[in-house]
Structure formats: structure tokens, C-alpha cells
Structure 1
């Protein structure tokens, strides 16, 4: 039973450590992105590839010819 309490306390300490690291990263501006939103309009989207017309393809048959 005491091992379970040790594991719970250890997991809470680890979780608090991760929370502290996350809050430090947010406070220090690690997640601020001031450049990308202003440049995003200048970047072109990739053009979608259109499928070739069905009339230009030869019909494929499933028959085996010898």
C-alpha cells in the first residue's frame, strides 16, 4: 500500500514539473509566432492536380490474351 502512495506522489511531482515547464515556455514567448501570420498571404497554395479526362484513356479490359 505504501508503494502506491509513493508512486502517486512521484507522478504528481512529475506532472507539476511538466506544468511548470509549460508555463515557463509560455511566459518566455516560446509559442509566440509573429512572423508567419503576416507572410501567410504571400505564400501560394499547392495547385490541386486534376485527373485526366476519361475520354483520353484507353479502356482496360480484364481479359487475358495469349
Structure 2
């Protein structure tokens, strides 16, 4: 029973920290463009990637 005196404030503090992190992410614009990243992966780049030079292991 004595353990609950420690666990309840810890649980409330962790819940408050999670809620504050979520509210911070909403205010900073983390969820503004949900479709942009999903659609951006479908477009090809016009510039081809440079080929890496062969590696010499020795």
C-alpha cells in the first residue's frame, strides 16, 4: 500500500509530461502537412545520384 504513494505521483508526472510534449508538438506545427511527406516520396528527382567510387579495402 505504501508503494502507491510513490507510483501515483510518478504516473501523474509522466502523464503530464506526455501531454505537454503532445501540446508542444501541436503548437510547433508538427502535424501541419500530413500528406506532403507521403506524396513527396512518389516524385522522382531530376538530378541523378552520383556513383560512389570503388572502395579499396587494402
RMSD between aligned residues = 2.0
Alignment partner, residue 19 of structure 2: 19
Q: What are the Cα deviations for residues 38-64 of structure 1, in whole angstroms up to 9, with x where unaligned? A: xx7xxxxxxxxxxxxxxxxxxxxxxxx
| Higher-RCO chain (CA-CA 8 Å, sequence separation at least 6) | 2
Following TM superposition, by how much is the alpha carbon of 1:25 offset from its aligned partner in structure 2, in angstroms? 0.1
What residue ranges of structure 1 are gaps of 5+ in the alignment?
A: 41-66
When normalised by structure 1's length, the TM-score is 0.49
Residues paired across the two proteins, number:
38
Bigger Rg over Cα: 1
When normalised by structure 2's length, the TM-score is 0.55
1:6-45 alignment, distance < 5 Å: 6-33=6-33, 36=36
